Amino acid sequence: MGPVTTSGEFSEFSVPTPLSAPFGITSGPDGALWFTEQNAAKIGRVTTSGVFTEFSLPRGYGVPHAITTGPDGAVCTPTTSARFDA
C-alpha cells in the first residue's frame, strides 16, 4: 500500500498487521489514506510518509469492506456503524 504521484512514482509501505487483507481505501480530509483490513477487523490510516495507525473494530461489527469520507469529514465504513473523525 502507498501513494502514487501524478507522474506515476509509487511508494510502497507494509501494513503493520500481517495478512490483514487491505481492501477499501479513501483519502481523508486530513490528507491521510484510510483503508479497511478485512482479515483483522480493523480500519487503518497511513500518512503519505508511511506512518500507520490502526483502529480495531468492536467484536461483532462484522468484516469491513468499503470505506468512504462523508461530507462532514468523517471516515465511515458501511459494514459497521463505526465513524472515525479524521
Q: Which amino acid is at 54?
A: E
Task: Determine the average pLDDT of the residues in 53-63.
Answer: 84
**Are the beta carbons of 82 and 57 closer than 8 angstroms?**
yes
Which pTM value belongs to this model? 0.80
Could you tell me if residue 36 is left (phi over 0), alpha (psi between -120 and 50 degrees) or otherwise beta? beta
Judged by DSSP in three states, 24 sits in strand
Grid coordinates representing 77 are 465504513
Give pLDDT, residue 7.
Answer: 93
pLDDT mean across residues, the chain: 85
